[in-house]
């Protein structure tokens, strides 16, 4: 199976012709407008015929789903795309999915924990670092603290502020 990235969740049918209402789970919901397909958890591939925004949702018309009853069966399912179909990012930018599971080291080379998630706070992201036997560390994703992200070597190097370790 190819590496898939979840980009949204089907929340409801929209209309009687089988359109689906999707809650985007990405910080770039406009990518839905350029998609050719969506993947369902059961392996089915839906061909995207049209996509448009409605409030905070994306309304998607597919070739395969033709009725409200069919789209109702998809309620609650996550939709994905293949990772290689994600747009290229500018240098120094990363997809969270590429960071999850990477070991996190301090500047002395000691492993602190493992990258768990990134939270969007509005002003800057906050990295969640899973630390064995402790609560997760929450580290602002700022150059001041995140010294290196190296996907080739599968490692993240950070400088932990004193207040993070004290919590």
Instruction: Judge if 81 and 9 occupy the same domain.
Output: yes
At residue 5, the pLDDT reads 86
Instruction: Judge if 47 and 107 occupy the same domain.
Output: no
- pLDDT-derived band at 165, boundaries 50, 70, 90: low
- pLDDT-derived band at 2, boundaries 50, 70, 90: low
Range of the domain at 11: 4-85
Asked which of 55, 85, 115 is the last residue of a domain, the reply is 85
Instruction: Judge if 100 and 77 occupy the same domain.
Output: no
Asked which of 36, 61, 85 is the last residue of a domain, the reply is 85
Q: Which residues contact 64 (CB under 8 A, 6 or more apart)?
A: 44, 46, 47
| CA–CA dist 51, 21 (Å, integer) | 10
| CA–CA dist 100, 6 (Å, integer) | 13
pLDDT 10s digits, 14-38: 999 999 999 998 877 888 998 999 9
pLDDT 10s digits, 90-112: 888 888 888 999 999 999 999 99
pLDDT 10s digits, 45-73: 999 999 999 988 999 999 999 999 999 99
Asked which of 85, 112, 131 is the last residue of a domain, the reply is 85
Say what the pTM is: 0.67
Q: What's the CATH code of the domain at 134?
A: 2.30.30.240
Q: What's the CATH code of the domain at 47?
A: 2.40.30.60
Q: Give how many domains the chain has, as a whole number.
A: 2
CA 71 from centre of chain: 23
Sign of the Cα torsion 5, 9, 14, 16 reads: positive
Is residue 91 assigned to a domain? Answer: no
């Amino acid at each position: 199976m190819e590496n898939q990235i979840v980009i949204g969740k089907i929340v409801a049918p929209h209309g009687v012709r089988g359109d689906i209402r999707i809650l985007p789970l990405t910080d770039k919901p406009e990518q839905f407008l350029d998609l050719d397909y969506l993947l369902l958890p059961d392996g089915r591939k839906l061909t995207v015929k049209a996509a448009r925004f409605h409030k905070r949702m994306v309304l998607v018309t597919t070739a395969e789903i033709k009725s409200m009853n069919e789209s109702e069966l998809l309620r609650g399912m996550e939709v994905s795309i293949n990772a290689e179909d994600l747009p290229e990012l500018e240098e120094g930018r990363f997809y969270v999915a590429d960071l999850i599971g990477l070991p996190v080291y301090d500047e002395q080379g000691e492993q602190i924990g493992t990258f768990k998630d990134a939270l969007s706070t509005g002003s800057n992201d906050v990295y969640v670092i899973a630390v064995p036997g402790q609560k997760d560390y929450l580290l602002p994703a700022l150059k001041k603290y995140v010294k290196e992200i190296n996907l080739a070597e599968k490692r993240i190097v950070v400088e932990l502020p004193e207040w993070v370790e004290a919590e």
